[in-house]
A and B are shown apart, each in its own frame.
Chain A
């Protein structure tokens, strides 16, 4: 075994509780980071779903001509605030209605296409544009009425919907990010303290190595390897717990969220996502270990 790895393993064996403390803190950090990553991904998917589904439906008057409809479609498609513009004919509307009432055929038998208005559905690039766009659309001569479909629960007004979505986004992305940073900072400090203690107990050894011509890199190597081992084990434990939790919860989540793809649909997709996450976390973990050990070594050597 390489002398640096052997030295690092010897240190770990000699102080198992320090090693456990470092690994445990890193495992908690990367568990939270992994959970937050999944949450950010899922919330992104959730918001994406709400943003891309038809949020505004402009019901058209019966007398609207194809040219007028086409002109309105073109105008909306050219509007940067609007996306996914889709024209729904009376027949398509009936078909959608029949599909929605498939479990009660009597309801669909009683209606004809003529009672359903044609409509233009579209979503918004940002929900804050909703009120303006709806007001503008209402003023169109061929538009009879405008409906707004985005609704997350108990909100009564458009303002409530926008506020709720913004709050969700803020809490998950910024709050989660801040929590991850605090935990990463704590892990960093724990690493610095533990490696600093290690360097202090190794002071005599460092002096001897220095006198026999060891380079600073040679002296630092076991320390950096030790910190990297803590980081790798911590990352793997945190990541593995998250993966197991997600795999365990996936059936319930899929059943609860239905058509909303908050997680990749296949096991391969989930494993792919977690593979990328593991690679990124290993990178971050190793960076923490490297920086922490370098800082600890330079502080102790400077004393």
Chain B
């Protein structure tokens, strides 16, 4: 599903990522770990086509996304659900409206929104808070809204950048369980985290980065 071939990303003189190559198959759950500055976020931004690599190719469903034209990027991103550490919710919209936005983006008929949003909010346990605004929610709830927004369009791939970074252990565990649940339903999940406890608990494939290089998990069999 995803294939990186000798990808290098530089910021000035600094190599954020250097000669990164790996593959992720459909339905996999992959943790990207490493200390701060290892290149986890850069990797996810490359996968979301926020950045272009200085060298190498990135394939998503056999399409080299580094070759996409600007006008092709939105339709590419519509296939991916993204969960951010800082949630990136629209503060002046309710929980329901935040989850509805991606449906409007992919032009789902408005008559279908209600049922789809209710299903997803039920999945993440926020049915009763659908009409509340982000400022009225706790951190774990905000992250669940972010996850609901990512899932509502039924993406093939869900990427999460430190989704538990701002959460206490119990809340983080709940969020990760949700990711595990959606992975069991067949979605591919790539999660960047430096939370060792979570990685150890789920026993999934781990790609470990250090100073922009893969130090572990290049191949699927290497770690679990």
A binds B: yes
Is B104 engaged at the interface, CB distance under 8 Å to the other chain?
yes
In the complex, chain A residues whose CB is within 8 Å of the CB of B90: 205, 208
A213-B88 contact given A3-B100, A3-B104, A218-B104, CB 8 Å threshold: no
Compute how far the CA of A14 lies from the CA of B91 in the bound complex, rounded to whole angstroms. 13
A254 at the interface (CB under 8 A from B): no
A302 contacts B by Cβ under 8 Å = no
Q: Which residues of B contact A3 (CB under 8 A)?
A: 100-101, 104, 110
Q: How many residues belonging to A are interface residues under a CB distance threshold of 8 Å?
A: 15
Q: Does A209 contact B (CB under 8 A)?
A: yes
Partner of B102, one of A14, A213, A215: A213
Within 8 Å by CB of A213, from B77, B89, B92, B110, lies B77
User: With A and B bound together, what is the CA distance between A214 and B105 in angstroms?
Assistant: 5
Closest B residue to A7 using CB positions: B93
Contact of A215 among B74, B80, B82, B100 (CB under 8 A): B74
Assess whether B41 is interfacial by the CB under 8 Å rule: no
Q: Is A10 an interface residue (CB 8 A)?
A: yes
Looking at the assembled complex, report how far the CB atom of B60 sits from the nearest CB atom of chain A, in whole angstroms.
13
Q: Does A212 lie within 8 Å of B77, measured CB to CB?
A: yes
What are the residues of chain A within 8 A of B50 when measuring CB–CB?
211
Chain A's closest residue to B80 (CB) is A213
Cβ–Cβ < 8 Å partners of A207 in chain B: 88
Instruction: Please report the C-alpha to C-alpha distance between residue A211 and residue B83 in the assembled complex, in whole angstroms.
Output: 10
Contact size range, B: 20 to 34
Asked if B111 lies at the interface with its beta carbon under 8 angstroms from chain A, I say no
The answer, yes or no, to whether B149 is at the interface (CB within 8 Å) is yes
Pair B104/A213 contact, Cβ less than 8 Å: no
Closest beta carbon of chain A to B30's beta carbon, Å = 20
How far is A171 from B92 in the complex, measured between Cα atoms in Å?
51
**Beta-carbon contacts under 8 Å, B39-97 to A:** 48, 50, 71, 73-80, 82, 88-90, 92
Bound Cα distance A209, B110 (Å):
18
CB within 8 Å of B: which of A163-184?
none
In the assembled complex, which residues on chain A have CB atoms less than 8 Å from the CB atom of B79?
213
Q: Which residues of B contact A205 (CB under 8 A)?
A: 90
The smallest C-beta distance from B168 to any residue of chain A, in angstroms, reads: 25
Q: B106 an interface residue at 8 Å Cβ cutoff?
A: yes
Q: How far is the CB of B186 from chain A (nearest CB, A)?
A: 21
Cβ contact of B76, chosen from A2, A213, A214, A216, cutoff 8 A: A213
In the complex formed, the residue of A with least CB distance to B105 is A214
User: Would B149 and A212 count as touching, CB distance under 8 A?
Assistant: yes
CB 8 Å contact bits of A191-221 with B (1 = contact, 0 = none):
0000000000000010111011111101000
**B-to-A contact residues, CB < 8 Å:** 48, 50, 71, 73-80, 82, 88-90, 92, 100-102, 104-106, 110, 149
* 10 CB-based A-B contacts, threshold 8 Å: A3-B110, A10-B92, A208-B90, A209-B101, A212-B105, A213-B75, A213-B76, A213-B106, A214-B101, A214-B105
